[in-house]
Structure 1
Amino acid sequence: MGRASRADAAQHREEVVHATSRLLRERGSAGISVQDVMSAAGLTHGGFYKHFASKDELMGIAATEAFEEVLVRMAAMTRDEVVQDYLSVGHRDDPGHGCACTALAPDAAQAEVGSPLRTAYGEGLEKTLDAFAGYETDAEEARRKAVLELATLVGAVTLARAAGQTPLSEEILATVLAELT
């Protein structure tokens, strides 16, 4: 059997990063193994170290991708559309495709200072705040409002996910949505 071409290798690497980004948001870094991410990408775990120096490196790369996915979606939406999407039952129930701010906060908080995951989270959080600030017309208030709104959204979805698919969970989402729109 021949070796994979550079294009194939690049494609495989991208598949691993994409699968890891989803699994990281669904399960957290402690809940996934190298074998899990390689299997999710349709590859064998033996090729992992051809693409990445360590699982920690991959976690940082996957976190960066998770933030990029959210930022691309936000760029195509108004502020109210972002808030409505963020506080939806669909977002609550699909963390693997949801906002990295909410899904990765516990892992980033527990990661070592300077680790790839914590670094990627900090950079992604800054970019997300910048995106929220961009919705504001008053430049002086933009950053303060962005921090307040993002913290409120992250808190609401975190509580709603923890409450499960219950009336309380839906109440949390609906109450915060009514306040922010």
Structure 2
Amino acid sequence: MTRKLTIALIALLLLTAPALADVVRTVHSEYYTVQGTNKAEIYNDLRHNSPLNKGDDTYQAHTRTSIRTTYKILQRGNQCQIKDVVVHLDLTYLYPKLLHSVDYETRTWWKDFYGQLEEHELIHGEISSKAAHRLDDILENLGPGDCGGYKNIIKVKIKQVMDRMKQDQAAYDKLVEHGLKQDRNMGRYP
């Protein structure tokens, strides 16, 4: 991991630390196998057999994010208030895994390549984490309101945070060209 990435991740973790009790975060890693015993074969297999294809674009790694909330709504007369908010964040990282042993040169290349994939996806995870904490803060600080539209207000707040997270994810991918320019932009995002 590069020094800039380490510093950026530590800063992100410190910024999100106060709300940790209200965000339940689970992290999983999954792998798909990659054929090949040299750089050209591995690259070709990644390009043609990656499970992450969108049109003409192929991605070698991916971060799946699921955010859901649990809460109670207390009613006093016409007024409702949200209580006991818990935001559940599930992150699943999908990475390639070499099926065959490779020579030293190829292994060194693979470790560098894999490290860049991992750096890129971990930042996607941190963007998701920031969104989960933002959602928790917004819902925890949501004041009382008329019960007639209170649930709808909560849904709108959740949708706003989720839409913002999707925009932030897309902006990050655009900035670093899905990881191709990862090192060049480490200090600027997220």
Q: Which has the higher helix share?
A: 1
TM class by smaller structure? under 0.3
Q: Calculate the TM-score normalised by the size of structure 1.
A: 0.27
Q: Could you say which structure has the larger radius of gyration?
A: 2
Q: Which has the higher strand share?
A: 2
TM-score, scaled to structure 2: 0.26
